């Protein structure tokens, strides 16, 4: 009988120890499954993809149309200001107060040499910005 009580108590202790250490409750288990998403896969392969820079096309809107009709683009180069207004190319000197409007004159492009003409073409391209 002594062995029976000892083996029974050992069995009970082992049973409760196993319950305590090996808890099979599914609600406490954390799931280690990982779901791949499109953004995660993109982040992984992004260094392998060629870099493509997309140019955003400007959307025509009422405020941009108003700005283009009321404002004039001016380029300042070598102490001179250049702009296009009413299909004429103007140039004016720059003073300490800003653009000297009294010195504004229409540029005579016909009598220019090649170097001056290349400079003016560069300025016109910058004023138009691809338009």
Residue 30 has what pLDDT? 62
- Residue 34 forms part of a structural domain: no
Residue 43 lies in a domain: no
Helix (H, G, I), strand (E, B) or coil at 24: coil
Q: How far is CA 123 from CA 10, 120, 129, in A?
A: 97, 5, 10
The pLDDT score that the predictor gives to residue 25 is 58
**Residue 35 falls within a domain, yes or no?**
no
Domain membership flag for residue 40: no
| Under 8 Å between Cβ of 57 and 46 | no
Cα separation values, 39 from 3, 32, 44, 45, 69, Å: 65, 20, 9, 10, 43
* pTM more than 0.75: no
Written as tens digits, the pLDDT of the chain (131 aa) is 778 888 989 999 999 888 888 776 555 556 667 778 899 888 889 888 887 776 777 788 999 899 888 988 899 988 899 998 888 889 999 988 888 888 899 988 888 899 999 998 999 888 887 55
Question: Is 3 part of any domain?
Answer: no
């Amino acid at each position: 009988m002594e062995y029976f009580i000892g083996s029974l108590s050992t069995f009970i202790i082992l049973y409760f120890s196993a319950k305590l250490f090996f808890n099979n409750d599914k609600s406490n288990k954390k799931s280690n499954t990982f779901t791949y998403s499109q953004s995660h896969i993109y982040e992984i392969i992004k260094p392998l993809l060629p870099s493509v820079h997309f140019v955003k096309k400007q959307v025509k809107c009422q405020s941009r149309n108003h700005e283009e009709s009321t404002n004039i683009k001016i380029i300042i180069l070598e102490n001179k200001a250049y702009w296009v207004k009413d299909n004429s190319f103007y140039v004016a000197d720059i003073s300490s107060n800003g653009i000297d409007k009294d010195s504004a004159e229409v540029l005579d492009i016909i009598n220019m040499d090649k170097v001056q003409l290349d400079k003016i073409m560069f300025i016109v391209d910058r004023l138009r910005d691809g338009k």
